[in-house]
Amino acid sequence: METLKAQKKDSKSQKAIRITGAEAIIHCLLAEGVDLIYGYPGGAIMPVYDELYKFQDKLTHILTRHEQGATHAAQGYARVTGKVGVAMATSGPGATNLVTGIADAQIDSTPMVCITGQVTRSLLGSDAFQETDIVGISTPVTKWNYQITKVEEIPEIMAKAFYIAKSGRPGPVLIDITKNAQFDELDFTYEKCTGVRSYKPVPEPDISAIEKAAELINNAKKPYIVFGQGVILGKAEEELKALVEKAGIPAAWTILGLSAMDTDHPLNVGMVGMHGNYGPNMLTNECDVLIAIGMRFDDRVTGDLNTYAKQAKIIHFEIDPAEVNKNVKVDVAVLGNAKETLGQILPMLDKKEHKEWKAEFDKMYQIEYDTLINKDIHPTKEGLTMGEVIEQINVASDQKAVIVSDVGQHQMIACRYAKFKQSKSNITSGGLGTMGFGLPAAIGAKMGAMDREVVAIIGDGGYQMTIQELGVIFQHNVPVKIVVLNNDHLGMVRQWQELFFDRRYASTVMTNPDFVKIAEGYHIKSRRVTERTDLEGAVEEMMASKDPYFLEVKVEKEDNVFPMIPSGASVSDIRLK
């Protein structure tokens, strides 16, 4: 309480400066610690860009080649750093082009603030040039949004935007600012937001719920953990590891939870979901206590809800009350930040080893390895596989790279076979499944983690959705590594057509350009691999490069991703072939 009073006293003692709304926006960004913005200028946001020009020594602006690229780059930056990503665009089409990235950030809980320009206040509702109701359009896909029409609103609304974006369960916020508010002047002071009335971002943990959860875990014969991105967002990686090791519980991950726990940890049993590992899916319906940590029971994880873990008592560690009992009815809900709640339950847990139960996962892994995994990463057939490319990257990077994947077959292969020793290493579009995510997100990730290798794994389809962002790599010499796994198809759709539509390959065959020549046109060092004998050397050369590098690998056209749970089927119906 004293700290809050002191903050208010300090803010009131600040000397106000008379500036325009446009300059005030820049000062707000700097006060929030922002040093990097992705965006695209235009008429309605031009006053802000004019002020941005004056602050180039403090605030770097990256001109993406499309506004969607700005949001995905901001997402990549946010995911690898844990900071709020910032994207900016003009009104009308500039604003609407942000929507896909905003929707992606909303469903994947990525903290982001998007700033859009808007026509002057007097023209609102008149269908003026490049006027679009972006607040109305973005309402379903933002954590919060607001239209500023008066210059005096700017400091409070900007502070609130950053607080909401990063607090509790993170998400995207959009602030739309009319042109008059950018030109008008105000007496500017800034106070960071520390709370919003009626908004409680982190529920207070209920000790009785934690005690009930501990009792269930201690009495379990076949306990099983499924962890998601909430562990990463809550910075609870060490607590998760301590829980797993103390209670001896096998733990599996959702694709957004990947890298929260070392992939080589002996109790890390793999991935759940439609293309997850055999054991983690099958044994979901054999465990007696299912402990869900920071995950939301997405349909790609659960399959048919009528058959999902019906035999188990279910414990849900979750920060967002709206996710509890939304899809799966749980027996114990433990609300709060995972770092705090896992820390509280740890002393209550008995030290145990569930060797026989873990052996069941090992047995099923061996079946999957013999049937699929070995053939994916150590193939004997002539054509190159996506799995062996990922395995070569694991070796060349010593499992330390950040892997940014687009959406499709290559994404599932990357999530299945990439290995990690560090958190915040797997960046992909989870809930929305946005093709075109990979390249700009990798740019943002690299700019947020210049000390780490960042490798983009992209299919030939998704690559061409945002291929223009190669211009950002060229202009700013962003040393990201790009791997396009080219099978001349929209691979995932083609796989479904093969399995469920009698091989009617409707609009999935692609006639692709020369990707190497395109990359060379952006002065990016490039190489194409068509033979297995060249793969290891090409990957080593790419990883050793200090500059941007593009590698195209021609992989088999009809190589399917298995295991696979057919859409709407039970997790127990997982197919190995």
Active site residues: 67, 129-130, 179, 492
* Residue reference for tokens 């930040």: 337
**Would you say 207 and 344 are in contact if contact means Cβ atoms under 8 Å apart?**
yes
**Would you say 435 and 427 are in contact if contact means Cβ atoms under 8 Å apart?**
no
> φ and ψ at 116, to 5 degrees?
-125, 145
| Joined tokens for residue 323 | 């996710």
Is residue 419 classed as helix, strand or coil in its secondary structure?
coil
What's 67-113 look like in SS3? HHHHHHHHHHHHHHHCCCEEEEECCCHHHHCCHHHHHHHHHCCCCEE
Backbone dihedral region of 231: left (phi > 0), alpha (psi from -120 to 50 degrees) or beta? Answer: alpha
CB burial of 302-329 (b: ≥16 within 10 Å; e: otherwise) equals bbbeeebbeebbbbbbbbbeebbeeebe
Peptide bond into 563 cis (omega under 30): yes
Query: Among residues 485, 441, 425, which one has the least CA distance to residue 253?
Result: 425
CB burial of 52-62 (b: ≥16 within 10 Å; e: otherwise) equals beeeeeebebb
Helix and strand counts by DSSP (H, E) for the chain: 25, 20
Alpha-carbon span 73 to 105, nearest angstrom = 11
Give the type of residue at 53.
Answer: Y
DSSP H stretches of helix in 220-373: 230-233, 237-247, 278-282, 299-302, 338-345, 355-368
Query: Among residues 506, 507, 500, 485, which one has the least CA distance to residue 565?
Result: 500
How many other CB atoms are found less than 10 A from the CB of residue 185? 13
